[in-house]
């Protein structure tokens, strides 16, 4: 059923606490002659209890031209969908910014408590495994070991709401095998500037790390062979054409 016509105080009471100041400023500016129209976007509580965004537009009116205003009339429009579209656009922009210059195999998202809420973009097997193991958990609750620094360092970065790139760590899969992952993340904020979580990308770098390890093993073997032969090992950088220590 329709809501009863509210008084000003009733209407303010329906408005979200974070938006009441904006409502008050818009009303005061118009009634004091500082603006031609009353115009404000606020959240109000729906009869079902959830919040919806509305656009209120109005103007002072009087019975006769030149007489003091005795009322204000206007329109109210539900703009919840457009606000949701704005949030989706910000997420898309954050994702595009994050992807600039980076490779990605899957996307991930955490809420304001840094718990995983969504995975997408990867293989079906990977997404199924991530959904089963990680949804509702924080990254460090899944085990694993950062390759540089510690989980405490990483958590401090998140608490500062900073962007991070190519955070690498080792994690054991359900089959018992260790894999190496690189993740990057971008913080998300709502229209009020409040932190809502992170969106990010992931990349399996196991092959790269295995190749790096094999190279180190080969170099160590060459060094030992050279020492046994009474000589020394050398390595040339093909770009600089110089010997590397």
Q: Sign of torsion, CA 148 150 156 159?
A: positive
d(CA 71, CA 56): 15
Would you state the pLDDT for residue 57? 87
Would you state the pLDDT for residue 136? 93
d(CA 47, CA 42): 16
Longest dimension (CA), the chain: 109
Using one digit for the tens of pLDDT, what is the confidence trace for 42-51?
A: 888 887 877 8
Using alpha carbons, select from 104, 135, 138 the residue that is nearest to residue 119: 135
> How crowded is residue 124: how many other Cβ atoms within 10 Å of its Cβ?
7
Would you state the pLDDT for residue 79? 83
d(CA 204, CA 180): 6
Residue 204 — φ and ψ, nearest 5°?
-80, 115
Using one digit for the tens of pLDDT, what is the confidence trace for 163-179?
A: 999 999 999 887 788 89
Would you state the pLDDT for residue 54? 87
pTM higher than 0.85, yes or no? no
Q: Kindly provide the residue ranges of all beta strands, DSSP E only, lying in 79-208, ordered along the sequence.
A: 106-110, 116-120, 145-146, 164-172, 178-189, 195-204
How sure is the predictor about 1, in pLDDT bands with cuts at 50, 70 and 90? very low
Residue 232 has, within 13 A of its CA and on its CB side, a CA count of 5
Would you state the pLDDT for residue 27? 84
In sequence order, the β-bridge partners of residue 171 are 179
Using one digit for the tens of pLDDT, what is the confidence trace for 97-109?
A: 666 656 678 889 9
For the chain, counts of helices (H) and of strands (E): 6, 11
Using one digit for the tens of pLDDT, what is the confidence trace for 55-65?
A: 888 887 766 66
In sequence order, the β-bridge partners of residue 161 are none
Least confident of 80-89, 176-185, 192-201: 80-89
Average pLDDT over residues 200-212: 85
d(CA 27, CA 132): 51
Residue 205 has pLDDT above 70, yes or no: yes
In sequence order, the β-bridge partners of residue 182 are 168, 203
Residue 231 has pLDDT above 60, yes or no: no
User: DSSP 3-state assignment of 6?
Assistant: coil
Q: Which residues contact 223 (CB under 8 A, 6 or more apart)?
A: 233
Using one digit for the tens of pLDDT, what is the confidence trace for 213-229?
A: 576 665 666 666 556 66
Mean of the per-residue pLDDT values for the chain? 80
Torsion of CA 175, 178, 182, 185, to 10 degrees: 50
Would you state the pLDDT for residue 216? 65
């Amino acid at each position: 059923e329709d809501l009863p016509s509210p008084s000003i105080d009733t209407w303010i009471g329906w408005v979200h606490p974070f938006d009441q100041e904006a409502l008050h400023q818009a009303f005061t500016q118009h009634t004091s002659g500082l603006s031609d129209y009353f115009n404000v976007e606020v959240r109000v509580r729906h009869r079902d209890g959830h919040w919806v965004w509305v656009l209120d537009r109005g103007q002072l009116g009087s019975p006769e031209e030149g007489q003091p205003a005795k009322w204000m009339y206007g329109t109210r429009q539900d703009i919840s969908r457009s606000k949701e579209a704005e949030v989706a656009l910000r997420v898309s922009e954050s994702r595009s910014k994050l992807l600039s210059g980076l490779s990605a195999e899957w996307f991930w998202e955490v809420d304001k408590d840094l718990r995983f809420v969504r995975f997408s973009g990867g293989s079906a097997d990977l997404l199924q495994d991530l959904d089963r193991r990680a949804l509702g958990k924080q990254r460090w609750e899944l085990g694993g070991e950062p390759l540089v620094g510690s989980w405490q360092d990483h958590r401090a970065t998140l608490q500062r709401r900073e962007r991070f790139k190519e955070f690498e760590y080792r994690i054991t899969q359900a089959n018992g095998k260790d894999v190496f992952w690189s993740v990057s993340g971008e913080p998300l904020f709502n229209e009020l500037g409040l932190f809502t979580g992170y969106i990010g990308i992931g990349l399996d770098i196991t092959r790269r790390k295995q190749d790096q390890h094999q190279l180190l093993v080969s170099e160590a073997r060459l060094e030992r062979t050279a020492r046994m032969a009474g000589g020394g090992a050398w390595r040339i950088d093909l770009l600089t054409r110089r010997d590397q220590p």
